[in-house]
Amino acid sequence: MLLAILIPVDVMMILSLAFIPYVTRKTELFGVTVPADKTNIPELRVLRASYRNLMLIAGLILIAASIWLTTSIESDSPQSMTVFLALIFAYLIAGFLIYLPKHFKMLSIKKDFGWDTASAPAVVVADTKPAAADVISPAWLLLFPLIITLTLAVLMLLWPQIPQIVPTHFGVDGTADSFTPKGWRLVATVFAPQVFLALIISLVYVIVRNARRQTDAANPKASRLQDARYRHFISMYLVAVGALSMIFMSTISLYTMVAVENVMTFLIVSMIIFLILLLAGTLYLMFAVGQGGSRLSAPKESSTDVVNVDEDRYWILGQFYFNPNDPAVFVEKRFGVGYTSNFARPLTWVIILGFFLLVAALLVFSFSLQAL
């Protein structure tokens, strides 16, 4: 049963990471700027394929290790989840180690081909229309308090049926291994994760709404249209994932309070359905939409008279943006789908500190509940 959860998680992560070079902007490969007319030369195709194949091989090792985990370690052992998380972390580290040589190889290719010397005037296209107009209405964020309110209403209706001692955590074999007395602590265990998730999703929505728009100087109208559609989709995707996750958490919490049997079967089936929906949405975002909407169709007006300003010097290892001359706090990633921060802006560090404080507060709150 554990394998039914581990494998979908592994597959989702492997596909999301292995095909990153194919879903980022074609003019940015492994964190390095590429001329628009050189994005498909043989050297770059080989580099993309090499990264993909190595990540898939590492992914097969991860899946094999996950299968080993379910057969060699007792399923109800507390070490099983620790080992699984360690495998996930190891795969992420392996992915970064596979990425780094590709990044440096791209820098070498760029220098060898003379791409670091612009053949046309480099310009920055400014768009004064607020990017906030492209995302879905912030009113959709009200879905989160609505779900919390409905969960509370259902909890109150079920309250008379809830036993005095409620199982609040189950081992992977379905055996309850943690219990919480009926009362305010039980209510807190239901709503604290929901509130935390709602805050995180809302923060990411704000990032998408305020991130700097990246416009292609050679295709300003097309890239503007793609960016607008991208922001609209990714903001819609965020709210949908947040709402779906909160509904999933509510359903699991309420069911385990009143169910007396088949709890593990319900948990497994619910988790599989949730992971399949999440995987489908993620893959669509990557392969149908692409970074910044680069895979969306749009009328082209390609011009060779101008090129984009080369910002490679501001990207540390092609991953971390540090540009004190850029007032933007959030910018598009150069490797992957989504946004990252300008680490030269103080607000970035305030947000990072706030996030860790929020996580720490949730952990302290959880441990406090268990200690009572």
Of the two residues 337 and 100, the one the predictor is more confident about is 100
Of the two residues 243 and 219, the one the predictor is more confident about is 243
Of the two residues 185 and 313, the one the predictor is more confident about is 313
pLDDT at residue 108 in the model: 92
| Kind of pairing between the strands at 339-341 and 330-332 | antiparallel
Contact (Cβ atoms closer than 8 angstroms) between residue 144 and residue 247: no
> How do the domains of the chain map onto residue ranges?
1-116, 128-309+311-372
Residue-wise pLDDT for 266-310, tens only, equals 777 777 788 888 888 888 888 888 888 888 887 766 555 566 677
Query: Torsions phi, psi of 23, nearest 5?
Result: -115, -15
Please give the Cα distance from 39 to 32 (Å, whole number): 11
The pTM of the full predicted model, rounded to 2 decimals, is 0.80
Residue-wise pLDDT for 92-104, tens only, equals 999 999 999 999 9
Alpha-helix residue ranges (DSSP H) falling in the chain: 2-18, 20-23, 42-72, 78-113, 143-158, 184-210, 220-258, 263-284, 346-371
Of the two residues 264 and 170, the one the predictor is more confident about is 264
Retrieve residue 364's tokens.
């302290």
Say whether pLDDT at 143 is over 90: yes
Residue type present at position 363: L
Region class of 174: left (phi > 0), else alpha (psi between -120 and 50), else beta: left
